[in-house]
Amino acid sequence: MLVNPKVFSKQNKFLPDMQKIRYILLGCGHVAKRHLDIITESGELIAVCDTDEITAKNTALQYGVPFYTSLDQLIQNTSADVAVVCTPNGLHATHTISLLENGFHVLVEKPMALSVNDARRMMETAQKHQRHLFTVLQNRFNPAVEALYRAIQQNELGKLFSVQVNCFWNRDQNYYVNHAWHGNEKLDGGVLFTQFSHFIDLLHWCFGAVEKVSAITHNANHQYTALQADEGAVLLQFENGMIGTLQFSVNSFRKNMEGSLTLFAEKGTIKIGGTYLDAIVYAETAKPLMIEPDQPGSALQKVYQSMIRTLQSGDQFYTSPEESLESIMLIEHIYASAKPK
């Protein structure tokens, strides 16, 4: 976290213990509802904002708060502790920087940004204005993922050999046609940002930095969009000597079929699958893989719980902007590798 340790220490925490955190939310689309339900349970919602007046008004009526149709109006007319950014991907950087400059802590949906340069500008702004830049990487809280990460950190699996990640989802024409920013080059960024950035995050979180990338991609079934690729195959070499593969597609017929991570190691072979990497498919290990009982609340609720502890008690947030930057760098490298030379 790019912060001044004196400002963000427990002795200089931002908010009194037990004080309800006040939120504003920018972008009232599909993903916003999950945030709004958590906000209204654990904090105080001050206002919402969306450039679509009908969407903004309906959301405001549902949650009993004022609405605005521009970020400037929202900033000028509200006072809150945290701004939650759920706008299209390509607007995350601009919106986050404006909010940080105006004194808000920011929780930004994934991906944090669509370029390394934008991500760095966001981090620099947070540092300059001594505000927190929180990011959403909730799959880290899945019990199956936590069990794998813990086993790696405790060296229970011995030497790590290779990892295979499969992402086979469905995004049909309705998904793109009915949402103007989906598939838009500047606002969407491509399926690795919009659909599969959580998988990218887990690769470097669990296995460390990637030093070599080779990719083949194509747009097989979505030529009516600006997508560079709707599927691809990626070879990875990690700094620790591991090799890996990532195969991704949004051309799965009718529905999402698979999101999985399989690890081959000296003392175990483990596959995580389920709807969102939330189940152990198999685990053949020298030492039993310990999955701790899941705590109450969704993975996104745990993101908010971590953020609240940071603001009220000075605890370290579960992730940092630097880790999101690593994901953005890897996605940029994959797309660059796949372009014709």
Which CATH number covers residue 231?
Answer: 3.30.360.10
Does some domain include residue 325?
Answer: no
Same domain? 222 vs 309: no
pLDDT greater than 90 at residue 193 = yes
pLDDT greater than 90 at residue 11 = no
pLDDT of residue 103: 98
Q: Which of 279, 294, 309 is the last residue of a domain?
A: 294
pLDDT greater than 90 at residue 17 = no
210-218: strand order across its sheet: 210-218, 231-238, 243-249, 160-168, 258-265, 268-273, 279-285
Does some domain include residue 242?
Answer: yes
- Give the closest residue to 303 by CA, choosing from 141, 64, 100: 141
What digits encode the pLDDT tens for the residues 22-49?
Answer: 999 999 999 999 999 999 999 999 999 9
Which residue do the tokens 């009526």 mark?
A: 61
Rounded-to-integer distance, Cα 121 and Cα 273, Å: 35
Same domain? 195 vs 257: yes
Of the candidate ranges 29-38, 224-233, 295-304, the one whose mean pLDDT is the lowest: 295-304
pLDDT of residue 1: 28
Same domain? 49 vs 110: yes
| Angle between helical axes of 197-207 and 321-338 (0-180°, round to 10) | 110
Kindly report each contact of residues 215-224 with a partner whose C-beta sits within 8 Å and lies 24 or more positions away, as own/partner: 215/334, 215/335, 215/337, 215/338, 216/338, 217/334, 217/335, 217/338, 220/251, 221/251, 222/171, 222/173, 222/176, 222/183, 222/250, 224/173, 224/176, 224/177, 224/183
Q: Which phi and psi angles does 247 have, rounded to 5°? A: -115, 125
Does some domain include residue 339?
Answer: no
Same domain? 107 vs 122: yes
> Residue 222's domain spans which residues?
139-294
pLDDT greater than 90 at residue 151 = yes
Tokens found for residue 95: 């919106």
Same domain? 229 vs 175: yes
Does some domain include residue 31?
Answer: yes
The total domain count for the chain is: 2
Same domain? 147 vs 262: yes
Rounded-to-integer distance, Cα 275 and Cα 139, Å: 11
pLDDT of residue 8: 35
Average pLDDT, the chain: 93
pLDDT greater than 70 at residue 14 = no
Does some domain include residue 159?
Answer: yes
pLDDT greater than 70 at residue 341 = no
Same domain? 231 vs 125: no
Instruction: Quote the percentage of the chain above a pLDDT of 90.
Output: 89
Same domain? 256 vs 228: yes
- Mean pLDDT confidence for 287-298: 83
Same domain? 277 vs 158: yes
Same domain? 131 vs 172: no
pLDDT greater than 90 at residue 236 = yes
- Mean pLDDT confidence for 230-238: 98
Same domain? 131 vs 147: no
pLDDT of residue 19: 79
| Angle between helical axes of 197-207 and 143-153 (0-180°, round to 10) | 20
Rounded-to-integer distance, Cα 62 and Cα 51, Å: 17
Contact between 100 and 43 (Cβ < 8 Å): no
Does some domain include residue 209?
Answer: yes
* pLDDT confidence bin for 274, thresholds 50/70/90: confident
| Angle between helical axes of 116-129 and 321-338 (0-180°, round to 10) | 170
Same domain? 127 vs 235: no
pLDDT of residue 18: 62
3-state class of 130 per DSSP? coil
- Mean pLDDT confidence for 315-341: 94
Residue type, 76: Q
Instruction: Quote the percentage of the chain above a pLDDT of 70.
Output: 94
Which CATH number covers residue 77?
Answer: 3.40.50.720
- Looking at per-residue pLDDT, the higher value among 19 and 80 belongs to 80
Does some domain include residue 279?
Answer: yes
Does some domain include residue 41?
Answer: yes
- Give the closest residue to 294 by CA, choosing from 280, 310, 308: 280
pLDDT greater than 80 at residue 286 = yes
Do β-strands 133-135 and 82-85 pair in parallel, antiparallel, or remain unpaired?
unpaired
Rounded-to-integer distance, Cα 193 and Cα 89, Å: 8
Alpha helices, DSSP H only, in the chain?
A: 32-42, 53-63, 71-77, 92-101, 116-129, 143-153, 173-177, 191-194, 197-207, 299-313, 321-338
Rounded-to-integer distance, Cα 68 and Cα 50, Å: 7
